[in-house]
Structure 1
Amino acid sequence: MWWIYALLSALFAALTAIFAKIGIKGVDTNLATGIRTVVILLIAWGIVFFNRSQGGIVNLTKTNWVFLILSGFATGLSWVFYFRALQLGRVNQVAPVDKLSVALAIILSVIFLGEPLTWKNAAGAALIIGGTLVLIF
């Protein structure tokens, strides 16, 4: 079941690139990121309230808070740089390079989370890195 959500994530990430490229034409990318963030905020909290999940906020630990906040900072900075890259480059260049994050996540998961590095994961990461270098150069 996880792979269905992952494929939907990929589909909407692809649509994000297309919609963003059209939407940022002649717009300051920081303003565009701010607008996008408000929309995401409304959707995310709407889902929380729809599923009645808001009560779980009292059970969050200090570690939960710290790392969720750090994740938010990382996401925000990713979006700021992504929108700027989209404004300067073509979607067919920027979107694939952005997906270098997949290979980086594999590497960082091994280093920081102690997840096993299988030959399939290593080969996939190497191919992504290689493909990214082809697109850049």
Structure 2
Amino acid sequence: MIISAFAFTFMNVFVKALDSFSVYQIVFFRSLGTLFFTVPFLLKNQISLLGNKRGLLVLRSGFGLISMLLFFLSLKFITLGIAVSLRYIAPIFAAFFALILLKEKIKPIQWLFFAIAFSGVIVLKGLGAELNLKGVVFALVSALFAGLVYISIRKIGGKDHPVVVVNYFMVISAIIGGLLSINNWINPKGTEWLVLLSLGVFGYFAQLYMTKAMQLGETNQVAPLKYLEVIFTIILGLLWFEEIYTLWSLIGILLIIIGLTLNVFTKKKSLAL
């Protein structure tokens, strides 16, 4: 999970560093880089690229694409650490959608933890640094669609291999990202090619090691470690982009992490029961 957090962090940092490129072109290269891993894996293991739950696979890919586009867009307006923290509100939206669409129950104590996490959002916007409202909205709506991604993956269940799910997402993202970037295409120069293609590499290994962590360890042990991404991102944001975080900003981020981490422990306990 720590390796995953590092990989996600570097992907986020490189996305922000590529501010001269449109988000559509960044999405195109991020998706293309991952396809270099997913397609050979599926072909080697003779797994159908088309999958079984094709309608849900397309739906999940659409939700994921919108979420990714909006998150990358938010990085153009707000600091890395705050954007990543706001994106992690996704489990709250996922819980609401699960309650409505999947009829799953939410324990009363979870509402308290969700309130703690969301209070962090209020602190960030209300008491933290003067945040760009557009960037905050982009990050929050990105989290909302990430919540829908969780629900669609739950609906797919074990009917399709995880790499098939990722491959669908990357193929659709590469096609749409490529088409939308045609009018504003910028030819990468020198190391820009390496940075753009590395987005897919970091994204792939981030997902791979996060999945491995969940498979090997107890959820309540490894899941909270994914929030290390926030800490790593803040540190790199300070060093690389000289970003500034006020005390209130850090308190807001801490409230989000605490609320969501406590929710992970609560969910684990309910599963054990």
Q: Shorter-chain-normalised TM-score: which range?
A: 0.7 to 0.9
Which runs of structure 1 show a deviation greater than 3 angstroms over 4 or more consecutive aligned residues? Answer: 7-15, 55-58
Q: Give 2:47's aligned residue.
A: 54
1:17–1:91 contact (8 Å) kept in structure 2: yes
Deviation at 1:118, TM superposition (A): 1.6
More helix by share: 1
SS of equivalent to 1:88: coil
Deviation at 1:46, TM superposition (A): 3.4
Query: Among residues 71, 92, 102, which one is paired with 2:81 in the alignment?
Result: 92
Structure 1: which amino acid aligns with 2:77? L
1:87-116: per-residue Cα shift (whole Å, max 9, x none)?
Answer: 122102211111121211111111111122
SS of equivalent to 2:69: helix
1:25–1:87 contact (8 Å) kept in structure 2: yes
- How many pairs align? 126
TM-score by length of 1: 0.76
Query: Among residues 34, 56, 70, which one is paired with 1:67 in the alignment?
Result: 56
Does residue 20 of the first structure (1) align with residue 12 of the second (2)? Answer: no
1:103–1:126 contact (8 Å) kept in structure 2: no
Q: Structure 2: how far apart are the matches of 1:122 and 1:53?
A: 44
Q: Give 1:39's aligned residue.
A: 33
Rate the CA distance shift 1:53–1:104 in 2: closer, same or farther, 3 A: farther
Q: Give 2:205's aligned residue.
A: none
Deviation at 1:39, TM superposition (A): 1.4
Instruction: Mark the runs of 5 or more structure 1 residues left unpaired by the alignment.
Output: none
1:106–1:125 contact (8 Å) kept in structure 2: no
Q: Structure 2: how far apart are the matches of 1:127 and 1:53?
A: 46
Q: Structure 2: how far apart are the matches of 1:135 and 1:8?
A: 28
**Aligned pairs for 1:122-137 within 5 A:** 122-137=111-126
Rate the CA distance shift 1:88–1:49 in 2: closer, same or farther, 3 A: same
Instruction: Mark the runs of 5 or more structure 2 residues left unpaired by the alignment.
Output: 127-273
Deviation at 1:43, TM superposition (A): 2.5
Rate the CA distance shift 1:53–1:29 in 2: closer, same or farther, 3 A: same
Task: Look at both structures and tell me which one has the larger radius of gyration over its CA atoms.
Answer: 2
1:68-87: per-residue Cα shift (whole Å, max 9, x none)?
Answer: 10110111111111111101
Root-mean-square deviation (CA, aligned residues, Å) is 2.4
SS of equivalent to 2:84: helix
1:34-68: per-residue Cα shift (whole Å, max 9, x none)?
Answer: 11111123333233335x1514856x1xxx21111
Q: Structure 2: how far apart are the matches of 1:124 and 1:15?
A: 29
**Aligned pairs for 1:86-125 within 5 A:** 86-125=75-114
